[in-house]
Amino acid sequence: METKSKLKKNIVSLLVLTLSGSFIYTLPYFRSYYYSAFMDAFGMTNTQMGLCGTVFGLVGSVSYLFGGVIVDYFSARKLIPISMLMTGTLGLALLSSPPAYIIVLIHGLWGITALMTFWPALMKCIRALAASNEQGKAFGIFEGGRGIFNAGYLAIAAAIFGKMIAAGSEKMGVRWIIIFYSVMTIGLGLLNIYLLRDMEDESDKKEAFEFKTIIKPLKMPEIWLMIGIIFSTLTVSTGYYYISPYATKILGASAMLGVILTSSSQYVRPVASFFAGVLGDKINGSKVMLIGQAGLVAGLVIILCSQSTMGIVPIIIGGIIVFASMYICVSMHFAIMVEIDCPAKCEGAAIGLICCLGYLPEATSPFIAGKLLDQFPGALGYQLFFIYMLAVVIFGIILTLIWFRRTKEKRMRILKNNRK
């Protein structure tokens, strides 16, 4: 009964962390939801837009290594609000209409404030809030909750954008969304100082740093499999934003429909995440991961087969399948970590390593997409990028099948405990 009650006991803390993990990324990813409008407002090229994502992802990926160590020595109660305050302040800097290189620099700084000082600590806290047989539910609630919060924020942002377009000023729509996201991020950072004041934090109880805690994860094959699996699914999670401009610029959908299509991912997210979380605790997270990967393959194939003569229905269907499948996979990213034997004292370093390499698509996907779109104008550039995503997902499926074989005994033990 004790293990079954751990998640329920910590549900308030989980919801606070979910809220924080949702809103801190509105600014770094804003350019993706309003790709064309953002590009026009700041006079940027596809390559410069891709570079923003590449710098954000690359800085973040390198920073994860340090973040995994930082989480063991600094208080999460302080890291979370400080990260949000800095992220929101950088957002306000965009209101000065800076040149492209400054916008790229801001995205690089976001790679530190929203990734290095925030994400590894968040992942470790969530894992600690649930028992081993509740990891799926914990991460399902986390991802699903973020989807619910994101859906609300996106609805407000879409209303602001729509009102400004009706007034004849798309650029003002972009500026007001930046103001909304920045002010809310700063406000939430201040609120978290109060909300997290009583959260249990073991940063003051840590043992002295030992270099072997960094080396241990490097020697674990399962950690490298996790890196590859996460890399494959995040390639889609960081590249699905290009489905919207493909629909508008190639298939003839309206700009507003393009925004709605991308935003719909956040409405699909809670359903897919909650489903994955519950199912993951019943059949193992890695099996749910495979289901999600199969869905990604199906959705991408449908999108690749979509033609302007078919209307927008096929790409909407393909997009929804991709959205649901990728959040099924994302919900299981760290839930499957319970299927391996990673020492607790190495967990922070392991998470840092996984994030550093597994999250590389944050850097590679936007850059590859930008280059392909500029070098192969029109439908071909988008199709080549979708084919790239499809190939990486298939590689991820192979890694998941290898994972099954290496973790079979541990997964069976977990399932037996779940039935008790």
Instruction: Identify whether 205 is part of a domain.
Output: no
Q: Which of 130-134, 145-149, 281-285, 314-318 has maximum average pLDDT?
A: 314-318
Please answer whether residues 198 and 16 qualify as being in contact, where contact means their C-beta atoms are separated by less than 8 angstroms.
no
pLDDT at 367: 85
CA atoms within 13 A on the CB side of 244: 22
- Across residues 104-121, what is the average pLDDT? 90
Instruction: Identify whether 288 is part of a domain.
Output: yes
Per-residue pLDDT of 196-242, as tens digits, reads: 676 565 555 555 556 666 777 888 899 999 999 999 999 999 888 89
Per-residue pLDDT of 92-101, as tens digits, reads: 999 999 999 9
In this predicted model, which residue has the larger pLDDT, 55 or 266?
55
In this predicted model, which residue has the larger pLDDT, 110 or 313?
110
89: tokens are 């302040």
Cα–Cα distance, 109 to 353 (Å, whole number): 20
Boundaries of domain holding 348: 16-196+212-419
Q: What is the pTM of this model?
A: 0.75
Instruction: Identify whether 2 is part of a domain.
Output: no
pLDDT at 420: 59
What is the pLDDT of the chain when averaged over all its residues?
Answer: 85
In this predicted model, which residue has the larger pLDDT, 62 or 111?
111
Instruction: Identify whether 373 is part of a domain.
Output: yes
pLDDT at 75: 74
The structural domain count of the chain equals 1
Classify the C-alpha dihedral 57-63-67-69 as positive or negative.
positive
CATH number of the domain to which 148 belongs: 1.20.1250.20
pLDDT band at 381 (very low <50, low <70, confident <90, very high): very high
Instruction: Identify whether 326 is part of a domain.
Output: yes
pLDDT for residue 108 is more than 70:
yes
Contact residues for 221 (Cβ-Cβ < 8 A; gap 6+): 406
Instruction: Identify whether 219 is part of a domain.
Output: yes
In this predicted model, which residue has the larger pLDDT, 72 or 175?
175
Instruction: Identify whether 1 is part of a domain.
Output: no
For residue 183, which phi and psi values (nearest 5 degrees)?
-65, -40
pLDDT for residue 352 is more than 60:
yes
Cα–Cα distance, 139 to 408 (Å, whole number): 22
pLDDT band at 110 (very low <50, low <70, confident <90, very high): very high
Instruction: Identify whether 61 is part of a domain.
Output: yes
